[in-house]
């Protein structure tokens, strides 16, 4: 179980394809995982996801812990059974949400974080974004919650330091993340012995935008016994160059034979750049969120359906697109639905964007296997960035 088999490695760059085995089937990498924050990929049914050939979805531990609670989901037979999804699921650790949601909601300041989040060596105290109730999460508790949820891939509890923290604080947070990673691993091993279902725990590399911290963190996390490595704390507002620099710094210290998961990245350009640099797995709310705002991707970049030009446009969102939306509906009708805030519009736009990205991943895998990835990447990005195209 959880065997990662590399099926092809590029000659002139770090792009590779692979297969990662889970109790709910194999994932083909490079893979994009649509985000189902509250155990639903917003607007889509599980049937829609299958029609889109979605291989794996992500759910958020933080949100499900707060409501309806992991015990409810466990009592229903775990996430897979509860939501009726028999393919792989990944749950994040809740670390990112504990820190970012607390910040977003503007809770009382404390010395370190401008939030009510209180961190000590054992864990984090925070307030629920729903009702302000206090909770204390430890690495051990986070692993227990994820075992109750029962996803195929679960994540270690990490501390995401705010972007404006000092280098010394980033070091402190990284060191704590490393200690927590070990605690997560121990707890995970203990729990595995007591349960019938198998789960894979991935570690998370931190270190902000500091090359030496990233290197140190990559080495530490990679040396633990995780079957996969994730890179956290990127795509949080830094420049693209900086993000790619951190990936270039990190990847060489992560084993080739473990899948590499870049958390929170999901635009076509970023995915292409990162695959070239050795990343295998991605997740992001971007394609689904932008859809609900009426934005859609084409080979010529991003457009918004609200534009006047689409009012009487009988064409599909993208020519030759094979998604359900493009096969059945025209831009004029989609524009109307989005203007009227009709739920069908939100779903149809989401279907298109998720299809666009999953289809790109299929194309990327095929190009890697044919050793033409680099050229494909350059051509795709050039076209994608073209300005003032009439679509």
Catalytic residue set: 92, 283
Binding flags for its own copies, 82-121, as an x/- string (CB under 8 A): xxx-------------------------------------
Q: Does 324 bind its own copies (CB under 8 A)?
A: yes
The reply on whether position 275 binds its own copies by CB under 8 A is: no
Nearer to its own copies by Cβ, of 145 and 156: the residue is 145
Residues with Cβ within 8 Å of 111's Cβ and at least 6 positions away in sequence, in order, are none
- For residue 312, the minimal CB distance to its own copies (Å) is 5
Residues 332, 359, 369, 391: which binds its own copies (CB under 8 A)? 332
Task: Provide the minimum distance between the beta carbon of 288 and its own copies in the complex, in angstroms, as a whole number.
Answer: 11
Judged by CB under 8 A, how many residues of this single chain contact its own copies?
39
* Nearest distance, CB of residue 2 and its own copies, angstroms: 27
- Contact between 337 and its own copies per CB under 8 A: yes
Q: Are 325 and 349 in contact (CB under 8 A)?
A: yes
Residues 47-86 that bind its own copies (CB under 8 A): 47, 67-68, 72, 75-77, 82-84
Single out the residue of 261, 197, 202 nearest to residue 235, CA to CA. 261
Question: For its own copies, what does the binding mask look like between residues 117 and 156, x meaning CB under 8 A?
Answer: ----------------------------------------
The beta-carbon contacts of 132-135 under 8 Å, at least 24 apart in sequence, are 132/107, 135/65, 135/66
* Position 289 contacts its own copies (CB under 8 A): no
Token pair listed for 91: 């749950």
| From candidates 15, 44, 142, 218, binder to its own copies by CB under 8 A | 44
Nearer to its own copies, 183 or 335 (CB): 335
Question: Minimum CB separation from its own copies for residue 85, in Å?
Answer: 10
**Smallest distance from its own copies to CB 94, Å:** 17
Told to check if 42 binds its own copies by CB under 8 A, we report yes
314 near its own copies, rule: CB under 8 A: yes
Nearer to its own copies by Cβ, of 346 and 368: the residue is 346
Among 39, 153, 265, 272, the residue binding its own copies under the rule CB under 8 A is: 39
CB of 77 to its own copies, least distance (A): 8
Contacts with its own copies, residue ranges (CB under 8 A):
38-40, 42-47, 67-68, 72, 75-77, 82-84, 311-312, 314, 324, 328-330, 332-333, 335-337, 339-340, 342-348
């Amino acid at each position: 179980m959880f065997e990662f088999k590399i099926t092809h490695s590029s000659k002139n760059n770090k792009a590779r394809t692979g297969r990662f085995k889970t109790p709910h089937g194999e994932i083909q990498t490079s893979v994009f995982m649509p985000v189902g924050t509250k155990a639903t990929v917003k607007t889509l049914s599980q049937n829609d996801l299958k029609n889109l050939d979605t291989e794996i979805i992500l759910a958020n531990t933080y949100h499900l812990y707060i409501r309806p609670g992991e015990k409810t989901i466990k009592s229903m037979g775990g996430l897979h059974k509860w939501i009726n999804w028999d393919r792989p699921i990944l749950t994040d650790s809740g670390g990112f949400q504990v820190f970012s949601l607390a910040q977003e909601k503007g809770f009382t300041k404390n010395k370190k974080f401008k939030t009510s989040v209180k961190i000590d060596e054992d864990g984090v105290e925070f307030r629920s974004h729903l009702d302000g109730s206090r909770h204390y999460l430890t690495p051990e508790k986070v692993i227990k919650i994820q075992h109750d949820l029962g996803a195929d891939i679960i994540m270690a509890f990490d501390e995401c330091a705010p972007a404006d923290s000092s280098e010394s604080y980033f070091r402190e947070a990284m060191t704590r993340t490393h200690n927590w990673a070990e605690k997560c691993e121990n707890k995970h091993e203990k729990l595995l012995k007591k349960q019938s279902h198998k789960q894979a725990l991935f570690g998370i590399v931190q270190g902000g935008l500091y090359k030496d911290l990233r290197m140190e963190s990559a080495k530490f996390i990679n040396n633990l016994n995780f079957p996969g490595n994730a890179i956290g704390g990127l795509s949080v507002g830094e420049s693209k160059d900086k993000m790619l620099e951190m990936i270039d710094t990190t990847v060489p210290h992560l084993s080739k034979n473990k899948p590499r998961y870049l958390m929170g990245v999901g635009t076509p350009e970023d995915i292409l750049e990162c695959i070239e640099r050795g990343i295998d797995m991605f997740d992001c709310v971007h394609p689904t969120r932008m859809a609900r705002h009426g934005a859609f991707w084409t080979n010529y970049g991003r457009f918004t359906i609200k534009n006047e030009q689409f009012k009487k446009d009988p064409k599909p969102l993208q020519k030759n697109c094979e998604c359900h939306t493009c096969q059945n509906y025209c831009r004029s009708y989609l524009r109307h639905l989005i203007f009227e805030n009709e739920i069908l519009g939100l779903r149809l736009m989401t279907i298109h964007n998720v299809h666009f990205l999953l289809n790109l991943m299929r194309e990327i895998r095929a190009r890697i296997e044919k050793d033409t990835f680099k050229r494909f990447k350059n051509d795709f990005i050039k076209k994608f960035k073209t300005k003032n195209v009439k679509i």
